[in-house]
Amino acid sequence: MGFQLKQLWSAPEINPYNKKAKSIPIFNPVDKYGRVFFFSYLGFFIAFWSWYAFPPLLTVTIKKDLHLSQTEVANSNIISLTATLLVRLIAGPLCDKFGPRLTFVGCLLAGAIPSALAGTIHNAMGLYFIRFFVGVLGSTFVPCQVWTTGFFDRNVVGTANALVGGWGNSGGGITYFVMPAIFDSLVHSANLKPHVAWRVAFIVPFILITTTAVAMLLLTEDTPTGKWADRMNAVPSSDGTIVTATGGLADKPSATGSLSSSDEKKVPTNDNVEAAEGEITIIDEVQHEVVQTPTLKEAFAVVCNMQTLTLCAAYVFSFGAELAINSILGAYYLKNFKYLGQTKSGRWAAMFGLLNVITRPLGGFIGDLIYKFTNGSLWAKKFWIHFVGIAAGIFLIIIGQLNPKKLDEMVGLIAVMAIFLEAGNGANFALVPHVHPHANGILSGLVGASGNLGGVIFAIIFRYNKTDYSRVFWIIGIIAIGLNLAFIWVRPIPKGQIGGR
């Protein structure tokens, strides 16, 4: 059945085998699937806005007030990204152990406190300290993606992940509008001095984070079946009883028909997991898609895997470049167009993050569309990741070589580059749910953290090139093309994997 407009607000059709929704009720926050979708992107949006609350004011106001050098500003960006990298690595296993909802809430509350303490900063060391702990907010991406993966079926999971990721990411753009606006209002309307106004402005993110976290805790559920501890009771057998979906990552399927690589040719042609048909064949696969707490040996197998490395390499570039560019873009506009000032250059820089509302969802949506029209080809989904990555790399090189001095030229090139770059993030997490579905938390954490690793690497390159931003753009572009070409040959999922197709 094709897409129908009413699916945007109607209660979704549920796959009886895994209790996941087969459509996304975007405008129905009353439905439990709609509530999870709503809070997934709202929580990530608020977190991303607060995580990036410093750069819009750091370009001029905070830099001047704290007497910071350009190197100290760059160091603070690197420290913020490093903190998120570390916490994302931890958040993945926590999602598998305690569930994504509680991990999400914990990350929000942990990041709210240092946001409120931003006003206590008086020197570079204080800025480093606060930005490190505020960096915890960036880790919310991992539970955000694991949560939606657990609620939406494979025919729409790429779109769901990309929508919540993209709409959440747009917080990094909104903050370039909102934080300067709050600051300007406090200075001109409340008559506060700039020294005080920027500190008071950080109370707003604290209030929003805390409110969102409490609402998420009270109004949503861990899994489609309720509590996280009950997630294994989702799969019915052919006689209507409940099958406990237990087993290890490396467990082999039972002899009664499965989708292991050796048995694929034996599967009847009318078996269709999307439509929940071919019952005996499907049950074993669905059992192997239920997230469990992997042993150290199983977790190591997920980490040391070419498919994991491929997804991480692509995300090192796509999200890593986005993070690093987001941190300096306001300064880049101000350097090339001094007449804009802090507020206006911040607004033009905001466009880069705001495009995530469209671009990241587009990457996931096209990934799902490709999957549908190629009869479930994960190779096609994977090639889509590499295509947008290489295209973004080409435009980064063009921007770096031209270093535009005309505003419309700069804005246009940044926008086109952002379309491919940010679509790559959505494309990546359209494939992630298919790979190692048993350990989705670990995999999501690794891939998410690799994005921050890329952000740290690129931020360091920006640091050592000081204000020569155009040079760094073409360097990142060359890295992008190299990373995507290096892993284009790797098969999308491990040979013989059960589940995830």
Q: CATH homologous superfamily of domain 18-226+299-486?
A: MFS general substrate transporter like domains (1.20.1250.20)
Question: Could you tell me where the DSSP H helices lie in 52-116?
Answer: 54-58, 61-65, 70-98, 100-116
**Whole-number pLDDT of residue 9:** 87
**Whole-number pLDDT of residue 501:** 62
* b/e map 201-233, b = 16+ CB within 10 Å: bbebbbebbbebbebbbeebbbbbbeebeebbb
**Whole-number pLDDT of residue 498:** 64
Q: Return the amino acid letter for 176.
A: Y
**Whole-number pLDDT of residue 461:** 94
Percentages of the chain per state (helix, strand, coil), in multiples of 5: 70, 0, 25
**Whole-number pLDDT of residue 372:** 87
**Whole-number pLDDT of residue 254:** 39
**Whole-number pLDDT of residue 3:** 63
Q: Which residues pair with 14 in a beta bridge?
A: 21
Q: Tens place of pLDDT for every residue, the chain, 501 residues?
A: 566 788 788 888 998 888 899 999 998 988 999 999 999 999 999 999 999 899 889 888 999 999 999 899 989 988 998 999 999 999 999 998 899 999 999 999 999 999 999 999 999 999 999 999 999 999 999 999 999 999 999 888 889 999 999 899 888 788 888 999 999 999 999 999 999 999 999 999 999 999 999 999 999 999 998 888 877 665 554 444 444 444 443 443 333 333 333 333 343 444 444 444 445 455 556 655 656 666 777 778 888 889 999 999 999 999 999 989 988 898 899 999 999 887 788 889 888 988 988 999 999 999 989 998 998 899 999 999 999 999 999 999 999 999 999 999 999 999 999 999 999 999 998 999 889 887 778 898 999 899 989 998 998 999 899 889 999 999 999 999 999 999 999 999 888 776 656
* Element holding 427 (H helix, E strand): helix 407-431
**Alpha carbons 58 and 155: distance in angstroms, whole number:** 43
**Whole-number pLDDT of residue 114:** 96
**Whole-number pLDDT of residue 283:** 58
**Alpha carbons 60 and 69: distance in angstroms, whole number:** 11
Please tell me whether the overall predicted TM-score, pTM, comes out greater than 0.85 for this model: no
**Whole-number pLDDT of residue 296:** 77
* Element holding 243 (H helix, E strand): strand 242-243
**Whole-number pLDDT of residue 255:** 36
76 Cβ neighbours under 8 A, 6+ residues apart: 54, 58, 124, 127, 128, 131
**Alpha carbons 151 and 351: distance in angstroms, whole number:** 31
